[in-house]
């Protein structure tokens, strides 16, 4: 059975003391919550991974990185390798976020390499993708998403998919307050699961968790998460307050 997952992407927010306080607040909010088949993940900035890992060590909260470099080591100033992440106990990495694509030129060719490096080092990958507003308006979102998934991930063998989580994040809904309706999310998630089934068969498709991201918050999480192909969320703004993030988690 696929897991439900609620992941908080903290983006470039929170210094070390703020990160520690947020992680402590979240652990505290969740201490009496029973999480049935549900994983909770937070993704602080690189410099705060160690601090947050220490705070969450004996809790249900897992820690992910927001990005990594595809090479193992070398002259890549400013970059972080998969092995560096695993060496501090990180088990999951977010790849392909729309902000990485938009501001740092990441594309499917690069993301295929990053995915390979992550999996080779035993990291789980949360692979993000989603259409921009113009693509939604011209009704090309399915073709866009198909390209983003197939070109970055369809070289993988079926076994590799046990370490892949998909995150559909329509760019027009990220940080805008606009959110895909629960029906729009379900429609796209069903389309995505169909793509995986066509390529890898029903077993792989049924076992992959597909998260929704984009202005997901306490007031709309329950409706979005109630859809059969929505297995949780990747949360930005609402993950920056322990109380709000806990409310989103409880919605699942």
Please state the closest distance from residue 236 (CB atom) to ligand 13P, in A.
2
- CA 91 to CA 52: how far, in whole Å? 13
Phi, psi of 192 (to 5 degrees): -65, -45
Is 97 a catalytic site residue? Answer: yes
Q: Quick check: helix, strand or coil at residue 98?
A: helix
Please state the closest distance from residue 74 (CB atom) to ligand 13P, in A.
29
Please state the closest distance from residue 157 (CB atom) to ligand 13P, in A.
27
Task: Please say which residue, 29 or 169, places its beta carbon nearer to ligand 13P.
Answer: 169
Is 169 a catalytic site residue? Answer: yes
Q: DSSP state, 3?
A: P
Is the CB of residue 187 less than 8 Å from the CB of residue 213? no
Task: Please say which residue, 180 or 204, places its beta carbon nearer to ligand 13P.
Answer: 180
- Active-site pick, 29, 62, 97, 108: 97
- CA 117 to CA 114: how far, in whole Å? 5
Contacts to ligand 13P by CB under 6 A: 9, 97, 169, 174-175, 213-216, 234-238
Task: Please say which residue, 170 or 205, places its beta carbon nearer to ligand 13P.
Answer: 170
**Positions of E strands within 142-252:** 164-168, 210-213, 232-235
What is the set of active-site residues? 97, 169
């Amino acid at each position: 059975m696929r897991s439900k997952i609620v992941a908080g992407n903290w983006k470039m927010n929170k210094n070390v003391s703020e990160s520690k306080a947020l992680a402590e607040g979240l652990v505290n909010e969740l201490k009496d919550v029973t999480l049935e088949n549900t994983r909770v993940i937070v993704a602080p900035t690189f410099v705060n991974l160690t601090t947050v890992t220490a705070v969450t060590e004996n809790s249900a909260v897992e820690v992910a990185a927001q990005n990594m470099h595809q090479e193992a080591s070398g002259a890549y100033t400013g970059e972080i390798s998969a092995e560096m992440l695993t060496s501090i106990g990180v088990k999951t990495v977010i790849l392909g976020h729309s902000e990485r694509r938009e501001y740092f030129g990441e594309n499917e060719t690069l993301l295929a390499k990053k995915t390979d490096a992550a999996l080779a080092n035993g990291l789980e990958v949360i692979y993000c993708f989603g259409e921009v507003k113009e693509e939604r308006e011209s009704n090309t979102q399915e073709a866009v998403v198909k390209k983003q998934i197939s070109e970055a991930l369809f070289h993988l063998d079926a076994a590799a998919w046990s370490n892949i989580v998909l995150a559909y994040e329509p760019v027009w809904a990220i940080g805008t307050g606009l959110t895909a309706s629960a029906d729009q999310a379900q429609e796209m998630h069903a389309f995505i699961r169909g793509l995986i089934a066509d390529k890898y068969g029903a077993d792989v498709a049924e076992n992959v968790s597909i998260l929704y991201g984009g202005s997901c918050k306490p007031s709309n999480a329950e409706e979005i998460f109630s859809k059969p192909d929505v297995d949780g969320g990747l949360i930005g703004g609402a993950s920056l307050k322990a109380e709000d993030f806990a409310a989103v988690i409880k919605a699942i």
